[in-house]
Amino acid sequence: MQGVSPMLVVTGGCPLQRTTLGNWLRAQGFALADTHNQQPARDAAQIGLFLCSEHNPAADLEALAAHHAGIPTIAILSCNCDRALAVARTHALPNVFCADDSPERLSFAIRTMLGGAHYRSPSFQAFLSREPAGDTTHGPPNRVLTPRELDVLRLLAQGYSKKKIAASLHLSVKTVDNHSTSIMSKLNIHNRVDLARYAIREGLATA
């Protein structure tokens, strides 16, 4: 019906992110449900927008898939790591807005969903068209590697020497060397350049 603003609800992310997005949405002519009382807000909303964190978007998408609000919801990624996109593919999430989409596309995505269709960013569509890569790790890295190995991997990806990693983590160089050998064995990756690429791709480090 003309003149009626669609009701949206924004969840996920941090308060600052939700406020910033909410202000932008209102400027585009959308109405936002009051999220101080979560259930009535969800009941009143026609479309949900779920903000994924930059730190671990894959885990956020897992949570979204497991606890869907019952209304059409678009997952908004702040970074396009393959691991997060793979989770979206595994759970067949119908609406995914990638970090490289222009802000103007979000209005289009919302109106597409209001029309009863799904929205998937071009980047996600391109990811879906690729053949799934062979999974040599048998699961996400946080399930394959120990917490200490993840610490070592992050620092290796940042270019730290083993001596500097040892000092940063209060370990011996020999222990760091053992962790490095274990990481490479578990991931079937055998040089630091490929380890760094892997860590960046999985959202464990930044380029």
pLDDT per residue as tens digits for the range 110-152:
999 988 899 999 988 888 887 554 444 345 555 577 888 888 9
Residue 207 resides in a domain: no
- Which spans in 28-120 are helix H? 38-44, 57-66, 82-90, 103-114
Q: What is the pLDDT of residue 134?
A: 43
Looking at residues 189-200, what average pLDDT do you find?
Answer: 83
Which domain does 114 fall in, by range?
Answer: 7-129
Q: CA angle 198-105-207, nearest 5°?
A: 20
Given 3-state DSSP classes, what are the helix, strand and coil percentages for the chain, each rounded to the nearest 5?
50, 10, 40
> How many beta carbons lie within 10 A of that of residue 182, not counting itself?
15
- pLDDT score recorded for residue 149: 85
Do 49 and 72 form a contact (C-beta atoms < 8 A)? no
Question: Among 40-44, 100-104, 163-167, whose mean pLDDT is lowest?
Answer: 40-44
| pLDDT for the residue 91 | 85
CB 85 within 8 Å of CB 75:
no
Whole-number pLDDT of residue 79: 84
pLDDT digits (tens, 9 = 90+) for 1-29: 444 567 899 999 889 999 999 999 999 99
Same domain as 86, residue 35: yes
pLDDT of residue 133: 46
**pLDDT for res 67:** 76
Q: What kind and span of H or E run contains 75?
A: strand 73-76
| 1-15, 70-84, 155-169, range with the lowest pLDDT | 1-15
Same domain, 192 and 103: no
Same domain, 91 and 123: yes
* CA–CA separation, 184 and 80 (whole Å): 24
pLDDT recorded at residue 137:
39
Where among 100, 129, 158 does a domain terminate? 129
Residues whose CB falls within 8 Å of the CB of residue 110, separated by 6 or more in sequence, listed in order:
6, 8, 30, 47, 49, 74
pLDDT recorded at residue 23: 94
Check residue 138 and give its pLDDT: 43
Residue 90: both structure tokens together:
């595994």
Q: Does 85 score more than 60 pLDDT?
A: yes
187 and 165, same structural domain?
yes
* 30 close to 6: Cβ distance less than 8 angstroms: yes
Q: Is residue 112 part of a domain?
A: yes
Identify whether 1 is part of a domain.
no
Whether 2 is in a domain gets the answer: no
188: left (phi over 0), alpha (psi -120 to 50) or beta: left
pLDDT computed for residue 163 by the predictor: 93
Helical pair 173-187 and 147-157, crossing angle rounded to 10 deg: 90
pLDDT value for 135: 45
pLDDT tens column, 34-44: 655 555 445 66
pLDDT at position 109 is: 94
Residue 177 lies in a domain: yes
Instruction: Tell me, yes or no, whether 135 lies in a domain.
Output: no
The rounded percent of the chain whose pLDDT value lies above 90 is 29
Q: Is 82 exposed, middle or buried (0-12, 13-18, 19+ CB in 10 A)?
A: middle
Q: What is the total count of domains within the chain?
A: 2
Q: Are residues 61 and 101 in the same domain?
A: yes
Specify the CATH number for the domain of residue 124: 3.40.50.2300
The answer to whether residue 110 is domain-embedded is yes
| 103 and 163 within one domain | no
